[in-house]
């Protein structure tokens, strides 16, 4: 396998720590940048993300133009806290309310396209315990400093919180290594160079996001990579080492459900590409077992993975963004299809 | 003095308007583990933060204390020092990630002293926001090697290397809002170590118990007659020893601190305790060592010193009730160098030295306003007499 992409398009966050230069490039290219934080019951971490991003990338250095929280219907104080610290807060169900309502991270990201105004959109998970502004500026950096890169994705060490107040140095990334990497190796060896394809932190130009479909749940990261790769090729993608990201550890059963959805998304994508042919439709139920009173009881979850179409096809979106120029003089429009 | 005293309450809202910057500094610096003797990384981040705030000079002194200087308008005025110790009691493997909600910021070490350090690093931005300039240079110093066995080495080194006069100083601590320290007791922090031979020969068949011997040390310390004047006390603060429930303890340590407003009295009590330890060591025929961990000389500003009076006035102007008590911190080293100084608390907090220590966010803005007021007081000459 040729790994020239890995060498050429892999960066370290410190490559972009000159924030002045990033702001200069942003202004030169006449761009606006939105940060979107999708949330569901993130009252413990949301304030810290907003405070640090606002302080470092809005007040001290005007790299971000807005911080938007799109919430799936938290039952804790997430929305109140986020509003208190100055983010624009929306309930996902209140955005484009005439459409059928779904619940999931991908749904929030898709709807964020409608309510944000940035030419570049940065998506960060809202559960990052060690949040630092590098999580945003390092993803924006390649987009501003390169004319070719249109989508950037994070990778990192993943220490996990193992018990109250204690950390384990390595771990996490199990779904990546057990599910996605084998699948990429089987069908798209080139994509194995993306070290953490499931990382929840990425940024890209609006023109990219508005023209690809968004699965509403766990499949969003997988489908996004496959769609961008298929449409524009690997060279528009960059990956950035953000070093350490501390997150909540998920139990194996939860990871199993995540793997279920990702597998389904992947298989549907490769069928669409003509790489496989399914003889029958796949089921929508993930079946796990739990021990209750010395009996194994099935624990069945419906995991239907709905998918939002490219938002560019939604009339309300077109109406809202119709007055906006589709391209900017300083950055290349995406008219070319994949050339590899 | 009245000219700035009236303005101080109006600072609170202006300071609050840059709350993100202040909270970010507390979080980004406080999340870096900094147990005593391992503060290098935190010192680096502190320096990075004040450098990004574009102070006029930014450096590390020879002892690796990070320092920023904001130039004043009058070269003839000595500088004003504002300091906070960088080290904490929290070990480096603890989860240092802070959590924040509407009213509270929570994380290990936040009261002692990440809130103090974060506010210190925010001062350049706060001065800009309030559009403040001073006659004196403002020296902002994060201090390493302060707590426990470090015995305030950071501030000692900084002041011994600083050969020119210092106009006045403020030491910042996370809590408690309202504290006003302007005197320090002479203190001697000590440890008694008791070790019993684990040999099993005939002569060792009635092994003494290290814990019981230390208990005897405590009992004899408690029989010491301590005077009302000069004030003096012995605080028994720590005890550790033994292996398991059914085994005689062969090792133990006892930590205590002698405090008095007279250095002579501290020496005298220490001598008494030395005699107690030597006597018991001989009596039980065990190895006992009395070690001095750290010591500070007694020093004080008078209550009617203009700096103390001004600070009280500023606190009252902000609706704070000053609480005077002795402090064994950096303050004592300033006072020993004849530099007028006070220690101030930033805000109220909870679970002071626990993993879930937290600060109240809202009172912090008043705490910062009081610091600005005291800087202005020093800059107006209250320490110049």
Domains of chain A and any CATH numbers: 4-308 (3.90.550.10)
Question: Chain A contacts of B98, Cβ < 8 Å?
Answer: 48
Indicate the pairing of strand A120-123 with strand A202-205. Answer: antiparallel
B20 touches chain A (CB under 8 A): yes
Facing residue for B97 by CB, picked from A43, A85, A129:
A129
B102 touches chain A (CB under 8 A): yes
**Burial (CB count within 10 angstroms: exposed 0-12, middle 13-18, buried 19+), residue A88:** middle
CA atoms within 13 A on the CB side of A288: 17
B355 touches chain A (CB under 8 A): yes
Interchain proximity B24–A51, CB inside 8 Å = yes
State the smallest CA–CA distance between residue A155 and chain B in angstroms. Answer: 20
**Tokens representing A267?**
């298989």
Question: Chain B contacts of A132, Cβ < 8 Å?
Answer: 28
B107 touches chain A (CB under 8 A): no
A284-315: burial string, b at 16+ Cβ within 10 Å, e else: eebeeeeeeeeeeeeeeeebebebbebbbebe
Q: Specify the pLDDT at position A334.
A: 41
Interchain proximity A48–B100, CB inside 8 Å = yes
Q: Which residue of A has its CA nearest to B95?
A: A165
Question: Chain B contacts of A77, Cβ < 8 Å?
Answer: 101-102
Determine phi and psi for B283, rounding to 5 degrees: -60, -45
Interchain proximity B93–A166, CB inside 8 Å = yes
Question: Chain B contacts of A86, Cβ < 8 Å?
Answer: 20
State the smallest CA–CA distance between residue A169 and chain B in angstroms. Answer: 10
Query: What's the CA gap between A171 and A159, in Å, rounded?
Result: 6
Interchain proximity A47–B102, CB inside 8 Å = yes
User: Which residues of chain A carry a pLDDT beneath 70?
Assistant: 158-172, 247-248, 323-340
Q: Specify the pLDDT at position B328.
A: 79
To which residue do tokens 């530099």 refer? Answer: B339
Per-residue pLDDT 10s for chain B (385 aa) are: 557 899 999 999 999 999 999 999 999 999 999 999 999 999 999 999 999 999 999 999 999 999 999 999 999 999 999 999 999 999 998 989 999 998 999 999 999 999 999 999 999 999 999 999 999 999 999 999 999 889 999 999 999 999 999 999 999 999 899 999 999 999 999 999 999 987 766 665 667 999 999 999 999 999 999 999 999 999 999 999 999 998 899 999 999 999 999 999 999 999 999 999 999 999 998 999 999 999 999 999 998 999 999 999 999 999 999 999 888 789 999 999 999 999 999 999 999 888 899 999 999 999 999 999 999 999 999 999 7
Facing residue for B27 by CB, picked from A48, A54, A60:
A48
CA atoms within 13 A on the CB side of B375: 30
User: In sequence order, which ranges of B37-170 are alpha helices (DSSP H)?
Assistant: 40-52, 115-129, 153-161
Q: Specify the pLDDT at position A129.
A: 87
- Are A191 and A234 within 8 A, CB to CB? yes
Facing residue for B101 by CB, picked from A47, A161, A165:
A47
Q: Specify the pLDDT at position B197.
A: 81
B52 touches chain A (CB under 8 A): yes
B95 touches chain A (CB under 8 A): yes
Q: Specify the pLDDT at position B201.
A: 63
Q: For the sheet containing B349-350, what is the strand order?
A: B99-100, B104-106, B358-360, B349-350
- Are B38 and B92 within 8 A, CB to CB? yes
Question: Chain A contacts of B24, Cβ < 8 Å?
Answer: 51-52, 55-56
Q: Specify the pLDDT at position A328.
A: 40
Query: What's the CA gap between A289 and A299, in Å, rounded?
Result: 5
Q: Which residue of B has its CA nearest to A161?
A: B95
Between chain A and chain B, the number of residue pairs with CB atoms below 8 A apart is 57
Output the CA–CA distances (angstroms, integers) from residue A308 to A104, A198, A264, in the order listed: 11, 19, 16
Q: Which residue of B has its CA nearest to A50?
A: B20
Determine phi and psi for A308, rounding to 5 degrees: -85, 140
- Mutation to test the A interface, candidates B27, B100, B353, most A Cβ within 10 Å: B100
Interchain proximity B23–A55, CB inside 8 Å = yes
Interchain proximity A77–B101, CB inside 8 Å = yes
Output the CA–CA distances (angstroms, integers) from residue A326 to A32, A142, A322, in the order listed: 13, 21, 8
Q: Which residue of A has its CA nearest to B107?
A: A165
Closest CA relative to residue B21, chosen from B109, B117, B125, B111:
B125
Q: Specify the pLDDT at position B175.
A: 87
Fold topology of B186-296: Alpha-Beta Plaits (3.30.70)
Question: Chain B contacts of A54, Cβ < 8 Å?
Answer: 20
Helix (H, G, I), strand (E, B) or coil at B230: coil
State the smallest CA–CA distance between residue A26 and chain B in angstroms. Answer: 20
Facing residue for B97 by CB, picked from A51, A55, A246:
A246
Interchain proximity A55–B21, CB inside 8 Å = yes
Question: Chain A contacts of B21, Cβ < 8 Å?
Answer: 55, 59-60
A43-63: burial string, b at 16+ Cβ within 10 Å, e else: bbbbbbbbbbbbbbbbebbeb
B24 touches chain A (CB under 8 A): yes
Domain extents in chain B: 2-184+298-379, 186-296
Facing residue for A165 by CB, picked from B23, B101, B355:
B355
Q: Name which CATH class applies to B2-184+298-379.
A: alpha beta
State the smallest CA–CA distance between residue B359 and chain A in angstroms. Answer: 15
Interchain proximity A167–B102, CB inside 8 Å = no
Query: What's the CA gap between B155 and B63, in Å, rounded?
Result: 10
């Amino acid at each position: 396998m040729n790994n020239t992409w890995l060498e050429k398009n892999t960066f370290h966050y410190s490559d972009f720590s000159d924030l002045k230069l990033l702001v200069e490039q942003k202004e030169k290219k006449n761009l606006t940048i939105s940060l979107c934080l999708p949330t569901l019951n993130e009252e413990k971490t949301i304030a810290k993300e907003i405070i640090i991003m606002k302080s470092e990338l809005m007040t001290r250095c005007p790299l971000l133009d807005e911080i938007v929280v799109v919430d799936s219907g938290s039952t804790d104080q997430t929305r109140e806290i986020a509003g208190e610290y100055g983010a624009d807060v929306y309930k996902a169900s209140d955005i484009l309310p005439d459409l059928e309502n779904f619940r999931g991270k991908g749904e929030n990201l898709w709807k964020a396209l409608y309510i944000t105004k940035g030419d570049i959109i940065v998506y960060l998970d809202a559960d990052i315990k060690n949040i630092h502004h590098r999580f945003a500026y390092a993803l924006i950096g390649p987009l501003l400093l390169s004319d070719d890169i249109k989508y950037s994705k994070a990778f990192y060490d993943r220490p996990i919180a193992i018990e109250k107040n204690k950390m384990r140095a390595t771990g996490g990334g199990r779904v990546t290594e057990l599910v996605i990497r084998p699948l990429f190796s089987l069908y798209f060896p080139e994509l194995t160079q993306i070290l953490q394809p499931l990382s929840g932190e990425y940024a890209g130009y609006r023109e990219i996001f508005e023209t690809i479909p968004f699965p509403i749940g766990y499949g969003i990261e997988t489908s996004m990579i496959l769609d961008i790769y298929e449409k524009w090729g690997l060279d528009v993608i960059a990956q950035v080492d953000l070093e350490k990201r501390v997150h909540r550890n998920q139990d194996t059963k939860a990871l199993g459900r995540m793997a279920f959805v990702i597998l389904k998304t992947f298989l549907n994508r490769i069928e669409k590409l003509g790489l496989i042919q399914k003889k029958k439709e796949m089921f929508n139920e993930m079946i796990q077992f739990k021990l209750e009173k010395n009996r194994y009881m099935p624990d069945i979850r419906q995991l239907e993975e709905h998918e939002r179409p490219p938002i560019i096809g939604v009339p309300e979106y077109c109406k809202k963004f119709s007055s906006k120029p589709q391209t900017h003089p300083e950055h290349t429009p995406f008219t070319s299809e994949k050339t590899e | 003095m009245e000219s700035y005293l009236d303005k101080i309450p109006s600072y609170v809202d202006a300071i609050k308007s840059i709350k993100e910057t202040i909270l970010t500094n507390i979080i980004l610096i406080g999340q870096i583990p900094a147990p005593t003797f391992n503060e290098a990384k935190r010192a680096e981040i502190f320096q990075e933060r004040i450098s990004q705030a574009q102070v006029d000079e930014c450096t590390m002194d020879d002892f690796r204390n990070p320092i920023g200087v904001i130039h004043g308008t009058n070269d003839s005025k000595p500088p004003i020092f504002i300091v906070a110790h960088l080290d904490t009691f929290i070990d480096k493997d603890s989860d240092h990630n802070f959590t924040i909600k509407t009213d509270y910021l929570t994380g290990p070490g936040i009261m002692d002293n990440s809130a103090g350090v974060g506010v210190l690093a925010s001062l350049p931005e706060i001065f800009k926001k309030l559009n403040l300039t001073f006659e004196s240079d403002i020296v902002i110093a994060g201090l390493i090697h302060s707590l426990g066995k470090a015995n305030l080495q950071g501030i000692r080194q900084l002041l011994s290397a600083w050969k020119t006069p210092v106009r006045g100083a403020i030491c910042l601590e996370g809590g408690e809002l309202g504290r006003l320290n302007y005197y320090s007791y002479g203190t001697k922090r000590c440890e008694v170590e008791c070790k019993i031979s684990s040999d099993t020969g005939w002569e060792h068949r009635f092994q003494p118990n290290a814990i019981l011997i230390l208990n005897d040390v405590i009992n004899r310390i408690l029989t010491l007659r301590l005077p009302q004047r000069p004030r003096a006390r012995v605080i028994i603060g720590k005890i550790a020893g033994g292996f398991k429930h059914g085994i005689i303890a062969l090792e133990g340590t006892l930590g205590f601190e002698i405090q008095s407003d007279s250095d002579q009295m501290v020496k005298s009590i220490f001598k008494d305790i030395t005699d107690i330890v030597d006597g018991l060591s001989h009596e039980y025929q065990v190895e006992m060592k009395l070690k001095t961990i750290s010591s500070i000389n007694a020093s004080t500003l008078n209550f009617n010193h203009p700096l103390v009076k001004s600070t009280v006035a500023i606190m009252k102007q902000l609706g704070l009730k000053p609480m005077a008590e002795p402090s064994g911190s950096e303050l004592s080293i300033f006072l020993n160098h004849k530099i007028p100084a006070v220690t101030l608390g930033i805000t109220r907090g909870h679970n002071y030295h626990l993993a879930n220590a937290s600060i109240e966010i809202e009172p912090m803005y008043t705490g910062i306003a009081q610091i600005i007021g005291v800087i202005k007081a020093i800059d107006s000459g209250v320490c110049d007499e």
